[in-house]
Amino acid sequence: MTVLILAGNDSCVRDVILAPSIESALNTKDVLDRWNEFEYGVFGFVVFESVTTPETYQGELLKLPNPNKTDLLLIATNEGAKPTAWMYHQQEKSDDQKNSRFSTVSLQSGRHQAKADTFTVVHASHVGVEFEDQAGPAKMVQ
């Protein structure tokens, strides 16, 4: 399952890490170091599937580092179709039983559109890789 893990800060996605699975991305030291360096938190992930039951991905969402138990974003996109998005709300009961639920949301990108703002899209295996003709880590920036 190819995924794009979304990370960033200030409620804004700034890092998009492409990986064959969530585990493989989280097992890549350079990815974790990068998020630590920029103080990024994980916001969720994107799957390239037509999703009708987001609950299928609850297990994958729970694998994401989310110490503050914030709401996570699940985006499904397939063959260029308009992405569908859900927020995953995680609440913890007193008996340690986790009660979760998904709600469909519309994506918004109306904030942080200043030209100085950038985002990075990179494959997990390329994070931290430096090239001779490049000063910083490899990244595709818009």
Residues 9, 83, 100, CA angle at the centre, nearest 5°? 65
Q: Which two tokens stand for residue 77?
A: 């996109």
Residue 64: closest CA among 78, 74, 76, 51: 74
| Site track 55-74 with another protein (rule: CB under 8 A), x = hit | ----------------x-x-
Q: Nearer Cβ to another protein, position 48 or 133? A: 48
Cβ proximity to another protein, 2 vs 130, nearer residue: 2
**Cα–Cα distance measured from residue 133 to residue 126, given in angstroms and rounded to the nearest whole number:** 15
Q: Which of 4, 31, 122, 124 binds another protein (CB under 8 A)?
A: 4
Coil, helix or strand for 112?
coil
C-alpha 127/C-alpha 38 separation (Å) is 13
First to last CA, the chain: 26
The yes or no reply on residue 111 touching another protein (CB under 8 A) is yes
Per rule CB under 8 A, count of chain residues that contact another protein = 38
22 touching another protein, by CB under 8 A: no
The site for another protein (CB under 8 A) is made up of 2, 4, 6, 11-13, 16, 18, 20, 43-44, 46, 48, 71, 73, 75, 77, 79-81, 83, 85, 87, 103-113, 117, 119, 121, 142
